Amino acid sequence: MKINCVSCGHKIELDNAYSDYEGRIRCFACGALLEIKTEEGGIRWVKEAQWAVAGAEAEHHSHDDSPHLETLVK
């Protein structure tokens, strides 16, 4: 499954771990944090993530157990 980063346009290939997924991924090319939703191997939506509180990104990553996108880009 492929998506384009909404920030830089980089083509991102996601493996099967993302066939039914709703959450955040990071673009390897520009570093943008994206929110995505996929169902049954199809993309439902992609948008750039917005943070409500300054520093939330650092807090999120300390609890993040999702695969890092850098390992998924081919």
pLDDT in tens, 9-41: 999 999 988 999 999 999 999 999 999 999 988
Alpha carbons 54 and 44: distance in angstroms, whole number: 28
Three-class secondary structure of residue 63 per DSSP: coil
Q: Which two tokens stand for residue 20?
A: 């039914």
Contact 2, 63 (CB under 8 A): no
**Each residue of 54-64: pLDDT tens digit?**
554 444 444 44
Structure pTM? 0.64
- Residue ranges of the domains in the chain? 2-67
- Which of 44, 48, 56, 13 minimizes the C-alpha distance to 32? 48
- Of 11, 71, 4, the C-alpha closest to 36 is 4
Instruction: Give the CATH fold of the 2-67 domain.
Output: Rubrerythrin, domain 2 (2.20.28)
